[in-house]
Structure formats: structure tokens, C-alpha cells
Structure 1
Amino acid sequence: MKPLNILSFFLCLVFTTDCFAQDPYLTITSKDSINGAPKFKSSMGVHMKLNGYLDLFGGLQGNDTFNIGYINVFGDDDETSLNVDMYQTQIRWSTFIVMPDGQKIKAIVESDFWGGNGHVRLRKAYVESKHWQIGQNWNNFGDEDLWPNIMELEGPPSGIWLRNPHVKYMNTFNDEKWKYEISLEAPQDDYFTLQEIQPFLDDTHQSTPDVTFAMTYQKAWGHLRLASILRNIKYKLNDKVDNFFGYGATFSGKHTVGRNCFQFQLVGGEGISSYLTTISGFGYDGYPAVGNDFKGTLAFGGWVTYEYFFNEKLHGNAVFGYTRYSTDDSERYVVIDESEAELDYIAGDFRHRHYYGILNLMYDAYDRMTLGLEVDYGVKSVNFDGNIDGIYFDDTFKRDAMRISFGFMFDL
């Protein structure tokens, strides 16, 4: 094997990435072929993205994504804020190998600069054959083929775009239109603190993987997908370790007519907060309830998006999303306002709602280059309902935010 081919073969075992609509400029293929296809192909690509955002009002100043969960409902800072960065730029390596029996193997490694202050962060790293995928990729509870074509990176609040290590098995029922996937996912836990509340839980080690099952119906026009998840979540309360079960389901789909595209996703369940994009890291999967019980946090939501092409270069997108999660009869939690004063609510309820909307225009100025301008608007509503020292209290805190996002994307 020639030195260049040896280098390519090494890269294919170590690096790779998802394919662009077109191959990256740096693509190496072997001269050997199997069934008319190169024995292996290795590529390095860069998805360059300038991310600019002007916060017009609301509690998201300085946040690099339009995460509705970050809105400070107790705050009143409406100062305009302008930021520009290149942290969403991605570096991608990909390799595709054709085995002697014709089976294709691909390996993927993808990073961006979203690790804080421009530090490199691992997005994906996995190897995939016809039936197996091992490594870190999009979680099987979500829908890998969905993403609204928007400038801001967070996406709708109920979106499921968690990437974690897993082992996944894929197959069909001897009918390529139907595909099922079963996976063991690295355990997630998220029930310790929220921007507004603290449920008094201590960290503990998880010991069982999350289990998912998904079924996809695929046609030329797009697909429909139903996925489910079952979780066993350990927690520690008052130095006692125990566990509770979480479960959920999603229904999603994508339909294309020409280049125009409609997408949607619905999600619901208990103990799945760590999988929802603007709840993960803020809420918790479960909470201590009255009667020495422990419950999974109820969460549900959905989003829809439509992309329309006005001509070959100009296209626009509309996105709408909603998420709600709540606790009933919480035994105790602390509410934290902007001044960090704490109020102890006993046997209280908690309601959390996110509303999300986006309109944008995108212009494909050149091959592989897109310019975009969009308006982002969101509302966060928090309701507390409980007793403080025997005195009933019921109040709602609401705040909205509006942002102009802009930038360009270029694929090398």
C-alpha cells in the first residue's frame, strides 16, 4: 500500500464525520475498489460559522444561545447587548471503508469550539456498520434527521439533541421502509438544582444505562418516527440512596416537497428532563414529594418548523415551540430570586413553561456559503403554589426576550 493510502487508512480508523451535501475539499480515496466503489474514502471538512446576536431586551444578554431556560424571570435588565463569535465552527473527519463482502463501515469524529472560551469540545466519535453503532452520537430517544434550519444553536426548548456514548443495534423487518433501533445509553441525571429552585438532593453515582427503542417509517418524501425511553435513576436524599423510574415517548416526522421541508416533534414523559434542550442542566428528573415519596418530574412539549424556498438562493424558516414541566405536592423546595433571598415552600407545586418562536431569511450567496438573518422571541413563565409557614402563596413570574441573530456558514 502506498504511503498516502496508509495515511488515509490510519485516518479512517481514527477520524471521520458526517458527510456534507457535497464532499469536503480535502477528500482522499483509494485506487482499489469493491463493487465499483472505492475501498475507502477519508475526508477532512470544516463547517465555518460566524454567530452574531443582538439582544434587544429580556434576560438573555450575553448568552451565546437563545436558551429560554436562561431567562431570569426575577430580573429587569433590558440593556441591549451585541456579541459575535466563531465558536460554532466544526471540524470534521470522516472515513468510509468497504469490506470484502461489500459491507460498509464508517467512522466519525467531530469537534467544535463550544467548550468554553473557544476551547475544543467533542461532539461525535463513533464507528458504524450496517447493524451496529458504537460511540458518541445523537441519542436514540431523539430524531437524528431533524433540525430546523436556523442561525441560533439551541433550537426549540423541547428538542432532544443530547449526544452521549451508547451501543445501538439497527435493523429492518426485511422491509427497508421500516427500521428499528435499540440502544443502551450512558446514564444521565439532572435533578439537583434549577435557576429558581433547589430540591435539596445530593449527588450520587448512576449504575444502570438508559434503554431506548425507536421505530422509523421511511419513504422518498421523508419519514415518521416513534421512540421511547426507560430509565432507572438513583438519587440521594437525607443521606439515603434510593431510585425511581423515568419513561417517555417521542413522535416526530419530516416531509419534503421539492426543496421545501416540514418537520415536527412531540415529546412527553416523567423523569426525562435531562433530555430536553432548555430544561437539561436547569431542572431535575425527579423531586421529593409529600409522604416520603419521590416522583419523576412531568415534562411534555413539541415544536414545528417549515422551510420554504422562494427561489434557488433565497429561503426562509418559521419555527414554533412549547415546553411545560411541573411538580405536584413537592415536600419542600427553596425559591431563589435575583437578590438570592430564599423562601422555603412546603408541600408546594411548581409550573414551568417555555414559549419559542423564530422567523428567518437565508441567502445562498455562493456554492457552500449561506448568509442568514433571523428574529428570535421567547417567553419563560414560572408559577409557584404552596405554603410558607402555613401561609398560602400563589404567584407567577413571567419574562420575555427578543434577539436578532445573524451570520454566515461556509463549508470547506
Structure 2
Amino acid sequence: MNKLKLNTLAVALGLSFSGVTHAAANSEVTQLRNEVSQLRAMIEQLQTEQKKQAIVYDVQATKVVAPVVKVDTTARKGLGFTAGGAEFNIYGNVRADAGYQFEGATGGTPYNQIATAELSGDNGKDRLRSTLSATRLGLDFKTATQKGDVAGKIEVDFLGSNDSLRIRHAYMTYDDWLIGQTWSNFAVPDYMAETIDAMGYVGQSVKRTPQVRYTNKFNPNTSLIMALEDPKDAQADMKMRLPALTARVTHKFADNFSIGARAMLHDKKTNEDNEMAWGVGLGAKYDITPSTTLKADYYHVDGDSSFIYNSNQGFVTDANKNIKETNAFDSINVGVTQKFNQQWRGTLGFGYMKADNNKDYLGYFTDKTKVNKDIWQGWGNVFYSPVQPLSFGLEYVYGERQTFSTATMDSKTGKDSRLNAVAMYNF
């Protein structure tokens, strides 16, 4: 800048006093104009740098957004933004479910109630039910720190009592630790064949529990996950003294084949007694082809009914609240999903659960029609996604439950026959 001023002064003095020729004067004027142009370019560059520091341009949206918040609609599903040094992503869906029940339970929801399906001859036929209570809203967040990322999730839907808001997931993670509520470490949905039913079918579980979880990753293919969980066992007389201990080992043999083995221990306690409940599980996922996926899951549980849906109550007590007998059962769920193209896919699935014939356990039930000997369900569905945010599904399910009652064969069997439909807008 000082050089430019000196040059300008020199030109002025030269024109006034040196008596230079007209051609020389023109040359000095041209040089002066060039230097003024350079000065203007420097000022414009400085202004551009200041704008870059104050304003973030969203190139994908071709618009200017506030300097504190950067909207990112291309990185992942949902609405992503940063604020106060943290990253956020809002996601969810609007979901409409409808079900026509040809035979089944008399409960008010269109979702699976096979364990209480009305016995033959009882009322439970020709009912139409609909709901939007499975509509979901979630928020993922992450903050980078000098010692690693701190992240978490909050997700809710309206499947609480009388369509009230309920917490699905609410947890925080740091390093290898998780604290909060999410999928149980024992009853995971990873190996469930796809269904329209929001509650899943026999042999499936969508249990979410408050927990403290630690993950030890031995290598990229093998992990051990340990957790202390509150299973929120609602069985009468149950008083929780200690959380359930769960463990899960996952291993990927190849990109198309993975398994998960689980175990569970929980001290069942009443005011006067306690008994150890336990369970094991084994699940597998195998991509037969890039478009065909096989899933299977197996459970054996003794003394607990809180983790796996559709099971009989875990234990029985006498008049003094002493635990006398426990219920044990085995269940299996298997299904094949076929992706026909980018818009169409479908699943065929089957689930089965069988309880031990423990006469000492059964002796504590006056009404044995409430205790299931075995339950099974088979289903088939198809999903259609005309465009990315929309998905429509149609599903038929048929199942039966057999009780331990001593009545006639017809009155020991309850049937579940339903046609389910769903429409979803995902964001």
C-alpha cells in the first residue's frame, strides 16, 4: 500500500515539474490504473474471505443458512444439522396400521395377541381395527470431544396406554459404554423375519430395557457385549432386587453370514423367596444371494416371562409368596425375505413356541385355558415403495394356540387369522 502511494506521488510530481514527454505521461497513467485495479482486487478478495468466515453456504440446497447452523440433507436419512458444537439428526415416520381379524383375541389393538386368542366358539371374529399409534419420532446426536465422541438417541412413539407418548429409546454412549434404554442385550431384533405387525410374531421379541452396557470388540468380526438390565417384570408378587445380567457374542463369518449367541440370568424375588431364572438364545442371518435373506432365532428360557412375548408366566407362588415352580419353554422363528427389485420385496415366516408339561407348575392354575401348551404362527407379506419416502405393505397371518385345559379338543384351541395393512411416510 505504501509503495502504491509513493508511485502515485512520483507520477504526480513527474507530470507537474519534470517536463516529461506526452508519451511518458501516458505510460505512467497506465501504470497507475493497473495498480488501482490490483488494489481493488485485493479489497474484493478480503471481503470474500470475511464472508466465508461469517456465512456457511449449503451447496446442495443452493441457499444461504444461518452461520450457527449448517443443514445437511444428503449425508444421511432425516434432517441433519449442527448447533453448539454438536451434530443432530431428526428422523421418524408417519405410520397408519389397519387389520381385519377373521378370528382371534378381543383386545383393542390390530397387533399380535396370539397368546390370548379366543378359544373355538367364543367371540373374536370379524373385527376391523386401525391405529396411527406406531408413528415415530427420533433424534440422534453426537458431540466430538478431545477424548472421543459422546453420542445418544431419543426416540418415541404413541404405543403407550390409550395412545399416549412412550419412550422407545433414550440413551447416551461414550467409548465402549451405553447407559439408558434400548434393545435388550438378550432379546434382540437382529434375527427377526420382517413383519408388518409392530409387536412381532411367535418366537420374536422387541424388548427394550433400561440398562448399562459394555461392548468389547475383539476384532472387526467378533464382539462381546455385557449388560445389566431392568427387565421391568410385571408378574404379580415380583420384587426386583438385582438387575438381570445378559451377555451376547456376535460373530461375522463373512459379509453375508453372521450369528449371535446370548445368555440371561435374573434373580426372581418375592417378599419371602427368590429363584434364579435363566435363558439362552442363538440367532443367525444369512444372505443366500444379494436379494435373498434368511433369518432364524431360537430361545430356551426357564423362570422368566418378561423378555420373550407370548410365554406363560415365569413362576408360581403359594399363599405364603414362596416360589414353588417355574415355567420353561422353547421357541423358534424363521423367515426368508426376497427383494424382487428396488420397489418390491416380500417375506414368508414361521414361529413356534412350546412350554414344558410341568404338572407341578400347572397345578397352581385353576383355569388352565390361560396357560398355553404350544403356539404357532405363519405369515406372508409384500411391501411396495413407489418412491423413497413411501412404503405400503399387505400381510396375512394365521396361527393357533393350544392350552393345557382338560376340556374338549375344540375348546382347547384358539385361532388367529388376520389381514394386516400399513402405509408409511419415512423421513
Paired position in structure 2 for 1:200: none
How is 1:2-401 mapped onto 2 (pairs within 5 angstroms)? 23-29=76-82, 40-60=86-106, 62-73=108-119, 76-101=122-147, 103-173=148-218, 175-192=219-236, 203-218=237-252, 219-236=254-271, 241-256=272-287, 257-279=289-311, 283-288=312-317, 294-326=324-356, 327-330=358-361, 331-335=363-367, 351-384=372-405, 397-401=412-416
Distance 1:86 1:335 in 2: 35
Secondary structure in structure 1 of the residue aligned to 2:297: strand
Q: Give yes or no for the alignment of 1:408 onto 2:401.
A: no
Contact 1:143–1:252 (Cα < 8 Å) also in 2: no
Q: Distance in 1 between matches of 2:230 and 2:69?
A: 32
Deviation at 1:52, TM superposition (A): 0.8
User: What amino acid does structure 1 have at the position aligned with 2:398?
Assistant: Y
Deviations 1:200-257 (A, max 9, x none): xxx2521111001111002421420100001110125xxxx10011111000011223
Inter-partner Cα distance in structure 2 for 1:220 and 1:160: 25
Structure that is richer in helix per residue: 2
1:44–1:92 contact (8 Å) kept in structure 2: yes
Compared CA separation, residues 21 and 62, structure 1 to 2 (3 A): farther
Q: Which amino acid aligns with 2:267?
A: N
Structure number having the greater strand percentage: 1
TM-score by length of 2: 0.76
CA contact (8 A) 2:104 2:113 kept: no
The corresponding residue for 1:347 is: none
SS of match in other structure, 1:73: coil
> Which segments of 5 or more consecutive residues in structure 2 lack a partner in the other structure?
1-52, 55-64
> Structure 2: how far apart are the matches of 1:375 and 1:144?
21
Cα deviation, residue 369, structure 1 = 1.3
**Secondary structure class of the residue paired with 2:306:** helix
8 Å CA contact retained: 1:56, 1:402? yes
Q: Match of 1:317, SS?
A: strand
Deviation at 1:41, TM superposition (A): 2.0
Gap change, CA 1:5 and 1:105, over 3 Å in 2: farther
Whole-Å separation in 1 of the counterparts to 2:67 and 2:292: 40
Give, as a single letter, the amino acid of the residue that structure 2 aligns with 1:134.
I
Q: Which has the higher contact order (CA 8 A, sep 6+)?
A: 1
Amino acid at match of 2:303: G
In our comparison, the structure showing a higher alpha carbon Rg is 2
8 Å contact kept, 1:168–1:182: yes
Q: Is the 8 A contact 1:254 1:261 kept in 2?
A: yes
Indicate conservation of the 8 Å contact 1:108/1:126, yes or no. Answer: yes
Provide the rounded CA distance (Å) in 2 between the counterparts of 1:297 and 1:68.
Answer: 19
CA RMSD of aligned residues (A): 3.0
User: 1:4 offset after TM fit, Å?
Assistant: 7.0
Segments ≥4 residues shifted beyond 6 Å: 1-8, 393-396
My pick for the range that moved more, 395-404 or 120-129, is: 395-404
Q: Which moved more, 1:244-253 or 1:213-222?
A: 213-222
Distance 1:87 1:187 in 2: 23
Change (3 A) 1:261 1:216: same
Q: Which amino acid aligns with 2:316?
A: Y
Give the 3 Å change call, closer, same or farther, for CA 21–269 of structure 1 in structure 2.
Answer: farther
When residues 78 and 60 of structure 1 are mapped into structure 2, their CA distance, relative to the original with a 3 A threshold, is closer
- Residue 274 of structure 1 aligns to a residue whose secondary structure is coil
Q: Shift in Å at residue 189 of structure 1? A: 2.7
**Could you state the TM-score of these two structures normalised by the residue count of structure 1?**
0.78
Query: Helix, strand or coil for the counterpart of 1:329?
Result: helix
8 Å Cα contact 1:47/1:91 also seen in 2 = yes
Corresponding pairs, count = 356
Please tell me whether the aligned partners of residues 157 and 276 of structure 1 are also in contact (alpha carbons under 8 angstroms).
no
Question: What is the one-letter code of the residue matched to 1:184?
Answer: L
Kindly tell me: are residues 319 and 130 of structure 1, through their superposed partners in 2, closer, same or farther at Cα, counting changes over 3 Å?
A: farther
- Aligned partners of 1:223 and 1:254 also within 8 Å: yes
Structure 2: which amino acid aligns with 1:176? P
In structure 2, relative to structure 1, the CA distance for the partners of 1:122 and 1:337 (3 Å cut) is same
SS in 1 for 2:162: coil
Query: For residues 107 and 211 of structure 2, what CA distance do their matches in structure 1 show?
Result: 35
Any idea what SS the aligned residue of 1:42 has?
strand
Identity %: 19
Task: State whether residues 66 and 376 of structure 1, in contact with CA within 8 Å, keep that contact through their aligned partners in structure 2.
Answer: no
